[in-house]
Structure 1
Amino acid sequence: MAKDLNFTQPRENPGAYIAPVFVFGLLSGLEGKDVDLDGYLRQVGIDPKALRTPGDRGVTPIQYAALFYALMHDLKDECLGLFSRPFKPGSFALTAREGLSAPDLRRALKRMSSALNLLQDDIVFSLQVNHQEAGLHMAPANPARDIPVFAQETMVRVLWRLSAWLLNSPLPIRHFDFAYADPGHHEMYQFIFPATRRYQQDAFGFWFGITELQTPVSRDEPALRTFLTDAYTQIISPPRHFGHTGQKVRNCLMSSYPRWLTLEEVADKLHTSSSSLQRHLTAEHTSLQWLKDDLRRDLAISRLSSSNVSLVQLASELGFSDSPTFQRAFKRWTGQPCSVYRRN
């Protein structure tokens, strides 16, 4: 069985925090409704007053994921009140499977659009082709009703990243469209939506070169099952900045889960030497060890929140020698025992 990794306190890395604006966005569909939002924030270790203080650095990925799971579990809604009817748990997985069943990107986007149009009533999804561009077009079903900003951003980000995942290759974007006014957060938005952003459009979505439609879907069902174990933190959560090399290493670790690669194995997959990989990670103020720990925390939160996996099995999947060692690490990460966290 895999050796235990050394669990040291994670380094203070601002890029590893999720900004308050995304936490408020996550909660925006529930404002004014009979939901104790501050109670949910405190439940996952977030101080509501501090979060609303200008300059607050935000929350950890563990807290963001835990907040999402707690709300989704109680409300039975993957979009947390952003739509006129709940986006029932399993809707994202169903959409992903529709895309997986297609031979190429063109038909994947058409099938996912059809599924999404059945799952909710607020947005009309469609594949559109315009000269040398193609795009996933998202228009309000009722032109008189504005789609919430966070709903627009989430749908654009999630479906773009899901599409790229299905292709197992980057999907270069020419421009992202949004129906709301320019928010002014250019530095933050450049990282999340790394292409031209057009605001105050009639619809929202993402556009790419028309030749990309022929790109084959390159994933299979086992890959999808692995992907769905961490889909919420990998796709739905706002992206975090691990550094160029760090992100490649994290992706490599995730693709090999539940097997945990050594430095030499990661270097081989990335077609570089161990010493060169180590130098690049050091230059980005990170390490393979830290990236493994960070990913294992995310996976532990996801698996405990969305499955009935036993603690013995989960400990093995995450590379621990036994369940008690895993449970001690989990309590250090979240401040709660596994049993209490799962029950909550």
Structure 2
Amino acid sequence: MLHPPQTVSISFVHGMLSGVLASGRPCELFLAEAGIAPELLAQADARVTAQQYAKLFRALTEGLDDDFIGLLSRPLKRGSFALIARSTLGAPTLEVAIRRATRTFHLLQDDVVLEAVCRDDLAGVVMRFNGPAALQTVFLQEVLLRTTWRLMAWVVGGQLPVVRFDFAFGPPAHAGGYGKIFPALQQFDSERSAFWFDARRLNDAVRRDEAALRSFLADAQLHMLVPRRGSDAVSARVRAHLQFMQPAWSDLVATANALHVTVSTLQRRLALEGTSFQALKDELRRDTAIVRLSTSAVPLAELADELGFANSSAFQRAFKVWTGSAPGVYRRGGGA
């Protein structure tokens, strides 16, 4: 089974560090533990691997003894998230599980309330702040929406399609990456941040037990924070084909033939998904390069050949365009 390389925008790394930076604490040790070069923080187009992103979150929770990494007015001691997740076990339905989880979260802190709401044929979890405005950071709202949704999806077996995400702020600079983090209609400048789903799902049975919870918590950072790639979209099928064919890199015609569609049909369907064949190919090459540089000592010439470049110089020029940095910065950050 192929495991596609995944990377995360440096904007989300900035958000993850916002609680530490607001307290005046240095972040270099946390970055080093995650294998992230500090120089990347200054590059708007920089990215880190999904594993580095999860490692950074783990390093912060352990170093701060805070499951919410300094984002709330007082720490939520490590184990708080496990307690919230465990409160859902034994609930007969998703509706009861949501009520138990939001109630447990409220018992642990006073800054924000998560409320279960029904509006016509939609059910949702809505965020209401009680603390000072300084606490209402974009990243805190992002991580609360993401983790609450993913936890509830896990509770009912892994899938809980969202109809709409509401955000109580305007589109941030990194909103272009929201499609992978929040895969549904997005509405900014809303009164409250929330996620909404088909209200009929409230009757879904809870499908998890203690053994499943232990397995889930063992890799919770990846489950909660890292984007999950869908398998139905045409862009996902193109990416899967390109990855399967490595080290040969299919062109547009060969890819269309492999997917049993005409070139024009493939281009049209990708355009409807807001992307193109070349963009997907470059994204896969970029992510593959970042993962390889961060986890191995592969020579640049060899990596350039793997990625379909004529030589190392051509690869390095493309990499600088993709990320704003030379490949060596990523090597120093993740080094092997």
What TM-score results when the alignment is normalised by the length of structure 2?
0.66
Partner of 2:188: 199
Partner residue of 1:244 out of 231, 234, 253: 231
Q: Do the aligned residues in 1 keep the contact of 2:65 with 2:78 (CA within 8 Å)? A: yes
Helix, strand or coil at the partner of 1:125: strand
Question: Alpha carbons of 1:142 and 1:67: their partners in 2 closer, same or farther (altered >3 Å)?
Answer: closer
Question: Alpha carbons of 1:186 and 1:34: their partners in 2 closer, same or farther (altered >3 Å)?
Answer: closer
Deviation at 1:238, TM superposition (A): 2.8
User: Do structure 1's residue 118 and structure 2's residue 107 form an aligned pair?
Assistant: yes
Partner of 2:281: none
CA deviations over 1:19-45 (Å, ceiling 9, x no partner)? 101111110111142421123223433
For 2:240 and 2:113, locate their aligned partners in 1 and report how far apart those are by CA, in whole Å: 46
Partner of 2:45: 55
Partner of 2:243: 285
Helix, strand or coil at the partner of 2:88: helix
RMSD of aligned residue pairs (Cα, Å): 3.1
Partner of 2:78: 89
Q: Name the aligned partner's letter for residue 100 of structure 1.
A: L
Q: Do the aligned residues in 2 keep the contact of 1:17 with 1:240 (CA within 8 Å)? A: no
Partner residue of 1:216 out of 197, 201, 205: 205
For 1:62 and 1:72, locate their aligned partners in 2 and report how far apart those are by CA, in whole Å: 15
Deviation at 1:223, TM superposition (A): 1.1
Deviation at 1:184, TM superposition (A): 5.4
Partner of 2:28: 38
CA deviations over 1:283-313 (Å, ceiling 9, x no partner)? 15059xxxxxx9xx9xxxxxxxxxxxxxxxx
User: Do structure 1's residue 149 and structure 2's residue 138 form an aligned pair?
Assistant: yes
Q: Name the aligned partner's letter for residue 285 of structure 1.
A: Q
For 1:49 and 1:85, locate their aligned partners in 2 and report how far apart those are by CA, in whole Å: 30
Partner of 2:15: 25
Partner residue of 1:103 out of 78, 92, 103: 92
Question: Alpha carbons of 1:133 and 1:143: their partners in 2 closer, same or farther (altered >3 Å)?
Answer: farther
Deviation at 1:143, TM superposition (A): 7.2
Question: Alpha carbons of 1:119 and 1:233: their partners in 2 closer, same or farther (altered >3 Å)?
Answer: same
Q: Do the aligned residues in 2 keep the contact of 1:135 with 1:206 (CA within 8 Å)? A: yes
Partner residue of 2:56 out of 56, 59, 67: 67
Deviation at 1:116, TM superposition (A): 0.5
Helix, strand or coil at the partner of 2:243: coil
Q: Name the aligned partner's letter for residue 149 of structure 1.
A: V
Q: Name the aligned partner's letter for residue 79 of structure 1.
A: F
For 2:49 and 2:158, locate their aligned partners in 1 and report how far apart those are by CA, in whole Å: 28
Helix, strand or coil at the partner of 2:87: helix
Q: Name the aligned partner's letter for residue 238 of structure 1.
A: V
For 1:285 and 1:85, locate their aligned partners in 2 and report how far apart those are by CA, in whole Å: 45
Helix, strand or coil at the partner of 1:139: strand
Deviation at 1:99, TM superposition (A): 1.4
Gaps of 5+ in 2: 246-287, 292-333
Percentage identity across aligned positions? Answer: 39
Q: Do the aligned residues in 2 keep the contact of 1:176 with 1:205 (CA within 8 Å)? A: yes
Partner of 1:304: none
Q: Do the aligned residues in 1 keep the contact of 2:163 with 2:198 (CA within 8 Å)? A: yes
Helix, strand or coil at the partner of 2:162: coil
Question: Alpha carbons of 1:93 and 1:24: their partners in 2 closer, same or farther (altered >3 Å)?
Answer: same
Partner of 1:342: none
For 2:214 and 2:12, locate their aligned partners in 1 and report how far apart those are by CA, in whole Å: 27
Gaps of 5+ in 1: 1-9, 246-278, 288-293, 298-333, 337-344
For 2:131 and 2:67, locate their aligned partners in 1 and report how far apart those are by CA, in whole Å: 22
For 2:200 and 2:242, locate their aligned partners in 1 and report how far apart those are by CA, in whole Å: 35
Q: Do the aligned residues in 2 keep the contact of 1:174 with 1:195 (CA within 8 Å)? A: yes
The alignment covers a number of residue pairs equal to: 248
Partner of 1:318: none
Helix, strand or coil at the partner of 1:171: coil
